[in-house]
Structure 1
Amino acid sequence: MHDKVVIAKRIFIKAAWQFYDDHGETVDPRIFVLLNTIHESGKLTKAADKMGMSYRHVWNILKKWTDFFGSELVELQKGKGAILTPLGEKLLWAEQLVNARFEPQLISLASELNLEIHRNLTFKEPLLKIAASHGYAVALLPEYTNKFKLSLQYRTTEEALKALSNRECDIAAFHLPTEIVNPHLIEIHNKYFKANTYKVIRFVTRTQGLMLQRNNPKGITGVQDLLGKGIKFINRQETSGTRLLIDELFKRAKVNTTEIAGFEDVEFTHSAIAAYVASGMADAGIGVETAARHFGLDFLPLTTENYVLVCHQKSLKKFAVQQLIAELKTEKFQNAVLGLAGYKPFHCGEVIDLEDILPW
């Protein structure tokens, strides 16, 4: 008698907000869809269409939220449509910022749950473990794994390299600068890499730059302008690869970071930086172009990076690794990468020696 073959479905996790007051009263969480549509279109009718509700129903949701907070979230202007009040804007950007901030942790947790499900199945698909620095292109990979199971864990660059060195993952995914190299980054790589041991699976290039408020009202043209009065910056955390890039950019521009307002304030993802700037809490941040475009920000390119996949040379023989390489070379996957602003599938899927891509 044969065991029953069971193929596991993928589990996803999405954060949800629940508001309640000291009396335990709650309100409809669909307010965020409503606020976002009004922010983008300026029309309550379009919000009703998007939510599949009548205008009256949407209006009642809005009224309940107004009563809940004791303050208006939306201002209706005769002949001009609708705009968000300051409270409405704050609520909308708070939701987007929190989602952006915790997205990597939620994806990693979902990956752990999927891995546990996989371990308890009678039939086990080939498994590939990737420890990755968070990025938009690597986030596409779970959609291209029909012939193998992918465990994707988001880690800092050093954590990913350590996991690869300790054989805790099959692939470490991270970004390498093409021209602006921080000495500490060299130290990190030299700490974990041994000559003639690892191979690089080329993946994508991406553009990093200044994310600025729409229409650049402060007239920022470079990192030197961040020293200007009335300009606030939002930084990345010290353990991130982008923070190493930021520190090197400012060092080369001879910018005294102690004079930059907000330099000590940090966020943990490119999306969170973009959401922070879009909310008006900062005038500028540094991150990838994709995040800037997603939040409707202006973008000033500063440099490009190679985002690569690195594995032990023996791992290239694994079925799951071979299948991944095959997927990277498909037109479908590369077109998906081209759909990300500032990303290009540069020699995607080509296998080279690690030493051939290091910029030092």
Structure 2
Amino acid sequence: MDETYLYRQVAEAIRQEILQGKLKAGDRLPSLRNMAERWNCTVGTVQRAYQELARQKLVVSRPGQGTRVSETTAAASPLPMRRAALAHRAEAFLLEVLTAGYSLEDVESALLQAMERWRVIEREQPASEAGVLRFVGSHDLVVTWLASHFSEIALRHRLQLRFAGSLGGLIALAEGKADLAGSHLLDEESGEFNLPFVRRLLPGQRVALVTLAQRRHGLILAAGNPLGIRGLEDLTRPGLRFVNRQRGSGTRLWLDMALRRAGILAEQIEGYQDERMTHTAVAQAVAEGQADVGVGLEAAARSYCLDFIFLAHDRYDLVIPEATLTSAPVQALVNWLQEAQTRRMIEGLGGYDVHQTGKVTWVG
């Protein structure tokens, strides 16, 4: 590996140990020579890594005393620690794409495009109007139905939708730009849906997770599956056109995890960068012949009379702060979700398991 970028990997590994508590305040790091032997690199590369950590105020170096974890690290405020964690994630991403053959100019251009898109998605929302509940989050067919019928569930109230992905919804909730969010994020380490992400993004807040349903995720195919697609491994087939969900969506995060486990690289899939903001937009692209296969919900495939290959279940929760949950319109919504008639309606869409629909789980 080019030593220009190896120092970032060294710094990242040490930073991870500090942020996870494996290296504590005052702990001495290995000497430059020992660390260079461990990483099979030059002393200069390790020195550059230590300098980067010092810039992040995670370590201090003193003549004759070596390099130690900063005494202020343990007592650091959450903001600098979060910034340090963000820096290490950014550098890990940079390392990954550079070693994949992209140039710095390619990366910068792609990031600028992505940031511009998120500025549009995360634009400032007006304060909630009287009688209007602001929903931001992941796309779902039941949520879309809810918005068009909300005044029947909660009289004189309206549900305002903005589909920005699961992460976008939780961020909007944390920033006060939403009253409730929709999320189906799977934490790879714990195997839990949503709870770990709510704890990280809404720390110290008492929040309810109201289960909408468990849903069937998989591949959306042309009717009759004319190309004989059987699973994720077929996405690497030459000439097979794929359509994806956007970055930040729960579906995209799940897909990336499934591809890693299957040993499939994104660059092996034609159309991996072709993104849609909703499940129905993915299904529409397949139905109109713009793509041969997409990733999404069984319910979306059914709505366009397309074939579907089941790959995994998820759990879609409405994430609602306590103050909002106790309001009359949201109480009416929760009561509606717990009715047998509602569950039958949701089940009728196909691909939904409603045995936990309406269940309330508290966080914080």
Residues in 2 aligned to 1:261 and 1:180: alpha-carbon distance in whole angstroms: 29
Contact 2:220 2:295 (C-alpha < 8 Å) held by counterparts: yes
Query: Given the alignment, which residue of 145, 151, 156 partners 2:159?
Result: 151
Q: CA deviation at 1:218?
A: 1.7
Is the 2:137–2:170 contact (alpha carbons within 8 Å) kept by the matching residues of 1?
A: no
Name 1:133's counterpart in structure 2: 138
Q: Percent identity?
A: 31
Shift of 1:187: 8.3
Picking from 270, 284, 304, the partner of 2:279 is: 270
How far apart, CA to CA, are the structure 1 residues paired with 2:239 and 2:191?
29
Count residues in correspondence.
Answer: 236
Shift of 1:230: 2.9
Secondary structure of the equivalent of 1:306?
strand
Per-residue CA distance 1:306-340 (angstroms, 9 max, x = gap): 11111122333211221111111223322221121
C-alpha deviation, 1:195, in angstroms: 4.8
Report the alpha carbon displacement of residue 241 of structure 1 after superposing the two structures with TM. 2.1
The answer on 1:222 being equivalent to 2:227 is no
Q: Which amino acid aligns with 1:319?
A: A
Unmatched tracts of structure 2, length 5 or more: 1-120
Cα gap change, 1:266/1:159 in structure 2, threshold over 3 Å: closer, same or farther?
closer
Deviation digits for residues 52-78 of structure 1 (CA, Å, limit 9, x no counterpart):
xxxxxxxxxxxxxxxxxxxxxxxxxxx
- Of structures 1 and 2, the one with the larger relative CO (CA 8 A, separation 6+) is 1
**Mapping of 1:39-58 within 5 angstroms?**
none
Aligned equivalents of 1:238, 1:325: Cα separation in 2: 30
In 2, are the aligned partners of 1:163 and 1:169 still within 8 Å (CA)? yes
The letter for the 2-side match of 1:348 is T
Are 2:305 and 1:299 aligned? no
Name the aligned partner's letter for residue 160 of structure 2: L
CA distance in 1: counterparts of 2:180 and 2:360, whole angstroms: 13
The root-mean-square deviation of aligned C-alpha atoms, in Å, is 3.0
Question: Cα 1:308–1:246, aligned 2, differ >3 Å: closer, same or farther?
Answer: same
Distance 2:140 2:284 in 1: 16
Give the aligned residue type for 2:340: E
Q: Is the 8 A contact 1:204 1:344 kept in 2?
A: yes
Separation in structure 1 between the aligned mates of residue 177 and residue 237 of structure 2, nearest angstrom: 46
Structure 1 position 341, deviation (Å): 1.4
| Compared CA separation, residues 309 and 187, structure 1 to 2 (3 A) | closer
Return the offset for 1:149: 0.6
Q: Report the Cα distance in structure 2 between the residues aligned to 1:130 and 1:195, rounded to whole angstroms.
A: 21
Would the aligned equivalents of 2:199 and 2:363 in 1 still touch at CA under 8 Å? no
1:150 maps to a residue whose letter is R
Q: Give TM-score, length-normalised by structure 1.
A: 0.58
Q: Shift of residue 178 of structure 1?
A: 8.6
User: For residues 227 and 158 of structure 1, what CA distance do their matches in structure 2 show?
Assistant: 28
Unpaired runs of 5+ residues, structure 1, are: 1-107, 356-360
In the alignment, the residues of structure 2 paired with residue 182 and residue 234 of structure 1 have an alpha-carbon distance, to the nearest angstrom, of 26
Matching residue of 2:64: none
Please give the alpha-carbon distance, in whole angstroms, between the structure 1 residues aligned to 2:172 and 2:136.
7
- Aligned to 2:185, the other structure's residue is in SS state strand
